[in-house]
Amino acid sequence: MPAQAHRFLRTGIAALSAAVAAVGCSGTVVSASDASTSATQAMLSVDRTVAAGDPSGSARAHASAYFLRLQAGADPNLAARLVGAAHVLPGVGQCETVGVLSDQAMPLATLGPVDLVDVGEVALEASSIRATFAARAFPDVADLVAGVVYTTRDLAADPLPDHGTYRFRIAGSASIPPVTLEALAPGPARDLLVAGLPLLGEPLAVRRGDLPVRWEPAVGTDLVYIELASMEDGPLDRVRCTFANDGQAVIAASALPRAASQSISIHLVRREGIVAPGLDGGWIRFDLATSGTLRFEGTTP
């Protein structure tokens, strides 16, 4: 199994374990027999990261597909978080440590069981790339989730493009009919400036204090989040901040990790809703990131 798949499954296990711990024994999970009707949601994701200054040689990308059968009235966003189909982000204009975001309790008693349904072969077409997804069994934890998820195999040597039309071709099964879903990738952040300096391949030396970030807004992007993480020995200190896609943001000095050497990644996120026969909703989400390295000098005023 490719390293990306191992990381993917570990993320799902961690999300479920945290969810069970947060709920404890206070809630009652609704059984499948209690649900009079159900809804099927498709949640498709493309994640792509490039290093600043090396947009082609450093590109790494993967895609995943979840087809969730939920109890009627269940919150699809909560279900997406439960199975690891969506990132947990702070509110717009806010910053939080990743640990705090991951520890947020989820009201699983209102969700009921989640079935990850088999939809036959899933393939992705984008530019000249065609990738067939691998179907993998999702770990069944506490009888909350069961079924399969679909992920691309290792695409490090032939990454997915950062813009243009993506087509997800679903062969179909007893669960849903054959269907093709399309969405447009908006491209990554461009003309990046951090503390007034261009983010390039070399580490960027900046003064410690409030950190301004500027970028060229990409049409169709819903929001931007910025992640900073320590690159030194010791516990990983990681912070996420969410902003509107208006081309500029300021991260308060008090929100920054303490390490002198930090990674920074600027993510443009676009999410398109799905309307298709056999599906009751869902989305195709693009998370397109540009990463670099910061070296902080001086102290916070």
**Rounded average pLDDT per 10-residue block, the chain, 301 residues:** 41 41 32 59 94 78 93 84 86 90 64 88 92 87 81 75 93 94 92 93 92 92 95 87 96 94 95 94 94 82 45
Do the Cβ atoms of 218 and 189 come closer than 8 Å?
yes
* Residues 50/188, Cβ–Cβ less than 8 Å: yes
Measured on CA atoms in the order 184, 118, 150, 280, is the torsion positive or negative? positive
How far apart are the C-alpha atoms of 301 and 294, rounded to whole Å? Answer: 19
The C-alpha atoms of residue 290 and residue 50 are separated, in whole angstroms, by: 5
Residue type, 124: L
Predicted TM-score (pTM) of the model is: 0.83
Instruction: Check residue 13 and give its pLDDT.
Output: 40
Question: How many Å apart are CA 152 and CA 48, to the nearest integer?
Answer: 12
Per-residue confidence (pLDDT) for residue 251, from 0 to 100 = 97
pLDDT for 197 equals 94
Q: What is the structure's pLDDT at 108? A: 65
* Residue 72 identity: A
| Residue appearing with tokens 């404890």 | 24
**Facing residues of 49 across strands?**
60, 289
Distances (CA, A) of 143 to 34, 38, 72: 15, 18, 18
pLDDT at 232: 87
The pLDDT assigned to 25 comes to 27
Give the sign of the dihedral formed by CA 213, CA 216, CA 221, CA 222.
Answer: positive
Task: Write the CA distances from 17 to 83, 235, 247, 249, integer angstroms.
Answer: 11, 21, 37, 34
